[in-house]
Amino acid sequence: MAGELGLILQLILGLLPLLTEDEMEKITKEIEKLRKQHADIRERLKQALAEGDIPAINFLLSSLLGEL
C-alpha cells in the first residue's frame, strides 16, 4: 500500500501544474480523509493489540488487506 501511495503521489505531483484550484482542493480533502482513516485504524489496531482482542485484530487486518 505504501508503494501505491508513493506512485499516486508522484502522479499527482506531475499533474499539479495542470490542475484547477477546485481539483486541488478535492485532492487535498481526499488526502486529509485518508490520513484520518489511517490514524483511526492505527489507534484501533493498537488498542486491539493491547487488549489481545484477536477478532478485532483480524477484522482490522482484513479490512486493510481488502483495500489493496
Mean pLDDT by 10-residue block, N- to C-terminus, for the chain (68 residues)? 72 75 87 89 92 92 76
Q: For residue 48, which amino acid is it?
A: A
Taking alpha carbons only, the member of 61, 32, 33, 31 closest to residue 45 is 61
This prediction has a pTM of 0.59
- Helix, strand or coil for residue 20? coil
Domain, as residue range, for 19: 2-66
Domains in the chain, number: 1
